[in-house]
A = this chain, B = another copy of it.
Amino acid sequence: MKPAAVQKRIEGVLAPVITPFRRDLSPDVERFVRHCRWLMKSGCAGLAVFGTNSEANSMSVEEKLELLEALVKGGVPASALMPGTGHCALSDSVKMTREAVRLGCSGMLMLPPFYYKGVSDEGLFRNFSEVIERVGDERLRLYLYHIPPVANVAITLTLIERLLARYPGIVAGAKDSSGDWNNTKAMLERFQDQGFDVFPGSEVFLLDGLRAGGKGCITATGNVNPGAISQVFKNWRSAEADKLQAGITATRGIVQKVPMIPALKSITAHFGNDPDWRTVRPPLVELTPAQEQQVISELKASGFSMPGL
């Protein structure tokens, strides 16, 4: 597998887009496309649809492909899309990745297979390698998704090294949701000069990341606070940068006092005056009224808003 010669990569703030469900728990295609359009016009450089915050693993491959096709048909440029395509089943990962490449998506954000625990780097290498070889498309750009607190299966530096050596240009970067800045820094120090783009998994590390060579961030709260977060990206070399960073860190602090995914949905429901947004798929549950009241009132008190929603 050789990478396609020139291909612009996404840099900046990406939202792992929350997925709206109807009351019968089916994915709400129209509301999804509408939210994606709002995110793009509100500062997001790209959309990491089908991430952890998207409840992606609570959906079948078919349901995700229907949403992805609707998004591209709905006018969101595929060049701004970095869908999650990693599954436990090799066959699912191959199918989803192949279709996303066919649709022209800029990159793929790939979880390791996460059912078996304590698996070896050799086993994980084979997983990613099989996906790359079977998809067999030089346009494929793979971003490795390191989120040990949820997947419980890590993307180690050793694994990255091996994959980069075998598939340079195809293996394009990582999202680091370890919450461990030292790990993000190590990824940057070791691999950024090999065309490996690192995105911290929280805007809390956005400015530090950019200063160390990172390319932006892929962050849950990008769903509700894309404008302010993208201002840090746009102004990171300015004198204002630290102050802007402090602002978005404070907003994040309010949101993460309650469970993140239902919180993002409650916030969107409230500020968009669209109560159906609250619906989550099991095993998640929506916020309690008390939790929702807390997060909304603290956000309001901080001056938070979602203009144009």
Q: Note all chain B residues with C-beta closer than 8 A to A126.
A: 282-283, 285
Which of A36-44, A53-61, A164-172 contacts the other chain?
A53-61
- Within 106-154 of A, Cβ neighbours of B (below 8 Å) are at 112-117, 119-120, 122-124, 126-127, 130, 149-153
Interface residues on A, range: 35 or more
A252 at the interface (CB under 8 A from B): no
Q: Note all chain B residues with C-beta closer than 8 A to A90.
A: 25, 58, 281-282
Would you give 30 A-B contacts (Cβ < 8 Å), ordered by A? A25-B90, A25-B130, A52-B115, A57-B88, A57-B89, A58-B88, A58-B89, A58-B90, A58-B115, A60-B61, A60-B89, A62-B91, A63-B89, A63-B91, A90-B281, A113-B283, A114-B114, A115-B150, A116-B150, A116-B283, A117-B149, A117-B150, A119-B283, A119-B284, A120-B285, A122-B285, A124-B282, A124-B283, A126-B283, A127-B283
A-B residue pairs, 8 tightest by C-beta: A123-B283, A127-B282, A126-B282, A57-B115, A119-B283, A57-B88, A60-B91, A113-B283
